[in-house]
Chain A
Amino acid sequence: MTAIDPMTQKIRRILKDHGRLSKDADSLGAESDLYEAGMTSHASVNVMLALEGEFNIEFPDHMLKRSVFDSIASIGAAVGELQGG
């Protein structure tokens, strides 16, 4: 199910392009900690920007914190919430 979910695929691609991860984004589990996988806070800003561009959303300031961007699952939940609302 998750493997073919287009949103997750887009998130993985953005992480691959901008997350500066030390591992392949495709090999990460949905709940794996992205910061432990090497994403710096500087790289996370580029991930946020790419997500805003890709999904045509704006993260409100209260969502701009580590816990929202620390895994593929939590990013997906945040994007879903903004798209749904």
Chain B
Amino acid sequence: MTSNSPEFGAHLAALKALAAQVAAPNAADVDAKSRFPRETIDALQKAKLLSAPVPKEFGGPGYGMRELAALCSTLAQACGSSGMVLAMHYIQVACIARHAQSSEFFRGYLRELVEHQYVLASMTSENGTFGETRTSICAVERKDGRFKLDKDATTGSYCQHADGILVTCRRASDAPSSDQVLVLVRKGEYQLTQTTSWDTLGMRGTCSPGFKLESTGAEEQIIPGSFADSSAQTMVPYSHILWASLWWGIAADAVARAAEFVRGGARKNPGVVPPTANRLAEVSTQLQAMRHNWLALAAEFDSFLLAPTGLQDLLSIGWALKMNNLKINASDSAPQIVHKALQITGILGYKNDSKFSLGRHYRDTLSASLMISNDRIASKSASMLLVFKDN
């Protein structure tokens, strides 16, 4: 892809190399054992790729959405769980980089993150609110420059492997459930008690059981402003665009395996187009449409940031609908594409020990429609369409 940053080529090349040499060879083991892709994250840290969203003034490369999506989609072609961990980490870093720059503490934290390549996780889900990220039950309690925050989270990806977690909560114990803030809790200042297991169909390497969090910290670790804004302007667009890009990456690897299968058949009988090639042609149209959807919205997002009204435009219903449509479309398409690839590879794709295996791809992409439930998102779109005129 084209990038305005001269160093992006080198970063993408480093990511491609570690995807091929580290993530891909470990993907089956990560999946089988439901274990954190430690070696891949170590390699990302070594290549300084965990600070990709950090602005230049704090020592990062300041990559925009298109560059981050290129990185996540590339890694996901090798290992879906690793791609998801990278995307979720970038979403958290972006929330800090875009909403906490007015705070001296967070400016320092961003520099530290670049130096130490911290891994950041997220706790938005909560027992009692479930997939509704924009309400919280738990509240941050402030006293004498310190805070105390406890949360009963239903799902906390790689929380046990992170250096910090961004936690949504109510602004104060008397605040309404929708008046939320984001709080950074730091390793050494929190305790996690695992409450559920993570033996799932797919995305097994994200290691996402439920946790009870008990934490304290300095009041300055509360991100200034309101989560209503950082959610609409950052968490939602970064999530939906980066997730779509990595789900596409998983689907693209499935189609690549199917294409290799078709080419193998064609070589045995030159002059005859194998019937599986027609199925390949069909699935490649869906794969291309899926790719261009997130590419276009990543470019639109990046162009907003250049416009003076950009941050306001991200708060519009029109943009929210686009994000919802992207999420629903990408999460529906990804398993459909893998399913079609499986019809091409046949039994060799169905086997877990062949080079055409598609089981992991299929199971990983089945999480997409559940990760913030499509029904929940669609019902929000339905209500927004009652006032949106598309004019």
Instruction: Show the binding face of A for B, using Cβ within 8 Å.
Output: 22, 35-42, 45-46, 48-49, 52, 58-62, 64-67
Contact = CB atoms under 8 A, between A and B. Distances in A.
Contacts of A46: 383
A38 B176 CA distance: 5
28 contacts: A35-B179, A36-B179, A37-B176, A38-B177, A38-B178, A41-B134, A41-B320, A41-B380, A42-B383, A45-B383, A45-B384, A48-B387, A49-B386, A49-B387, A61-B316, A61-B388, A61-B389, A61-B391, A64-B316, A64-B318, A64-B387, A64-B388, A65-B313, A65-B316, A65-B317, A66-B232, A66-B315, A67-B315
A65 B318 CA distance: 9
B389 to A, nearest CB: 6
Contacts of B387: 45, 48-49, 52, 59, 64
Interface residues of B, number: 27
Most buried by B among A37, A42, A49, A52: A42
B336 interface: no
Most buried by A among B313, B383, B388, B389: B383
Give 4 nearest A-B pairs by CB, closest first. Answer: A38-B176, A64-B317, A22-B176, A65-B316
Contact of B317 (A39, A40, A61): A61
Contacts of B317: 61, 64-65
B104 interface: no
Contacts of A45: 383-384, 386-387
B154 interface: no
A45 B175 CA distance: 22
B231 to A, nearest CB: 9
A67 B312 contact: yes
Interface in B353-391: 380, 383-384, 386-391
B228 interface: yes
Given A61-B316, A65-B315, A66-B232, A39 B389 contact: no
A39 B176 CA distance: 9
Contacts of A38: 176-179
B77 interface: no
B318 A36 contact: no
A66 B176 contact: no
A40 B226 CA distance: 13
A22 B245 CA distance: 39
Given A41-B380, A65-B312, 11 more contacts: A36-B176, A37-B176, A38-B176, A39-B178, A41-B228, A46-B383, A61-B316, A61-B318, A66-B229, A67-B312, A67-B315
B40 interface: no
B294 to A, nearest CB: 23
